[in-house]
Amino acid sequence: MKYVTLGRKGPKVSEVGIGMWQAGGKSWGQDVVDHDCQQAMERAIDLGVNLVDTAEAYGEGHSEEVVGHAIRAAGRDRVFIATKVSGDHLRPRDVERACRRSLRRLGVREIDLYQVHWPNPWELSPIPETMKALERLQRQGRIRHIGVSNFDVRDVEEARSSFSRADIVSDQVQYSLLHREPEAGLTSYAKREGIALLAWSPIAKGVLAAKYTPANRPKDSIRSDNDLFRPQNLKVVAPLVALVRKTAKAHGKTPAQVALRWLADHPGVIPIPGVKRPAQAEENVGAAGWSLRRAERAALDRTSAAVLGRLDTF
Ligand SMILES: NC(=O)c1ccc[n+]([C@@H]2O[C@H](COP(=O)([O-])OP(=O)(O)OC[C@H]3O[C@@H](n4cnc5c(N)ncnc54)[C@H](OP(=O)(O)O)[C@@H]3O)[C@@H](O)[C@H]2O)c1
């Protein structure tokens, strides 16, 4: 496993992480089982992954509890634990309480990366107040690093200007061959400022693993209402999925590994694929340690841009 620096002088994290939203209950499907999710995380850690993402919102804390069990089984020092405070807990006192609850569920004394899940969704608390509360938690040793999620450049700048000494090491955003909004400005800003981008939904919730078609769509509550899974859109993305599959074949890899590699080949971008079972974790770790050729990246870029221009939605 290759390790990359989170932020400018931050800690080393695996170039591919793991997402644990799936461990939050049955919203990702009836096939989700706590034990499998825990085993998936432990398997990923055995294979060198240290970056594990969760949030207090996932299953109202259940994902953090499952992650806590896996941390105890794997060993605290092998895990870089990233969790998030929800948008309705952004007032300073709420941030502190939420952090205490997450520490308890995770069974750790310190959170490695504490992220603001969404920027001030209902204008409940000004960003500077939230950031000062996070800086206090950092001084108290309850969190090691501060991150944000779903922040655009303006939000990140406002957050950073609120600190007296701290800084943001990462912004977690939706980013994949089927969602390239960060390239409108955030990717270049983050690169210039030494802020890592953690890419959520890096395999487009399974679409880039080349298994979903108009005739075979997931039935879980998270994906059944997602525009990308509308039959018409699954038809539109088929040429990109076919190219991902062809590229994978040329490397003896799988489509999911190519989708993740396309992200990891961007400096400062770290995909955090969500998994339900050990086999998926193992497969996704296979995205580390190799690179796509320049011509392959260019072809994927072109086909993705063409497909995105024809998607009916988001
Ligand atoms: N900050 C935020 O606002 C935010 C939002 C969303 C997610 N996240 C984080 O990002 C993580 C990843 O995003 P995501 O879960 O939305 O999407 P994703 O990683 O693109 O897709 C995850 C789904 O893809 C399928 N999958 C995973 N590995 C596979 C493989 N090797 N082969 C085939 N299928 C595979 C699994 O579902 P099936 O097997 O059922 O197809 C899995 O549930 C989450 O777990 C969470 O930690 C953060």
Pocket of ligand 1, candidates 30, 178, 205, 224: which has the most ligand atoms within 8 Å of its Cβ, to mutate? 205
**Amino acid of residue 156:** V
pLDDT at 10: 82
**Separation of 211 CA from ligand 1 center, angstroms?**
14
Per-residue pLDDT tens over the stretch 263-287: 999 999 999 999 999 999 999 999 9
- Is the predicted pLDDT of residue 231 greater than 60, yes or no? yes
Q: How far apart are CA 49 and CA 20, in angstroms?
A: 13
Per-residue pLDDT tens over the stretch 178-189: 999 999 999 999
- Model confidence at 25, pLDDT cuts 50, 70, 90, reads confident
Question: Which residue, judged by its Cα, is nearest atom 10 of ligand 1?
Answer: 200
Q: Average pLDDT for residues 206-229, to the nearest whole number?
A: 94
Q: Indicate the angle between helix axes 255-264 and 294-308, nearest 10 degrees.
A: 100
Encode burial over 263-275: b for 16+ CB neighbours within 10 A, e otherwise: bbbbebbbbbbbb
What residues flank ligand 1, with Cβ below 6 Å?
A: 19-22, 28-29, 53, 117, 149-150, 172, 200-206, 209, 218, 256, 272-276, 280, 283-284
Query: Active-site residue numbers?
Result: 58
pLDDT at 7: 86
Residue 222 alpha carbon, nearest atom of ligand 1: 16
- Is the predicted pLDDT of residue 314 greater than 60, yes or no? no
**Residue 95 CA, distance from chain mean position:** 21
Q: Which domains does the chain have, with CATH numbers?
A: 3-205+253-291 (3.20.20.100)
- Model confidence at 122, pLDDT cuts 50, 70, 90, reads low
N-terminal to C-terminal alpha carbon distance within the chain: 34
pLDDT at 159: 95
- Model confidence at 166, pLDDT cuts 50, 70, 90, reads very high
CB 167 within 8 A of CB 7: yes
**Separation of 45 CA from ligand 1 center, angstroms?**
17
Residue 202 alpha carbon, nearest atom of ligand 1: 20
Q: Which two tokens stand for residue 226?
A: 């997602």
Pocket of ligand 1, candidates 203, 223, 254: which has the most ligand atoms within 8 Å of its Cβ, to mutate? 203
- Model confidence at 124, pLDDT cuts 50, 70, 90, reads confident
**Separation of 165 CA from ligand 1 center, angstroms?**
34
pTM: 0.97
Rounded mean pLDDT of the chain? Answer: 96
Q: How far apart are CA 295 and CA 259, in angstroms?
A: 15
- Is the predicted pLDDT of residue 121 greater than 70, yes or no? no
Strands 168-174 and 196-200: parallel
Pocket of ligand 1, candidates 275, 283, 314: which has the most ligand atoms within 8 Å of its Cβ, to mutate? 275
Q: How far apart are CA 121 and CA 32, in angstroms?
A: 29
Residue 203 alpha carbon, nearest atom of ligand 1: 20
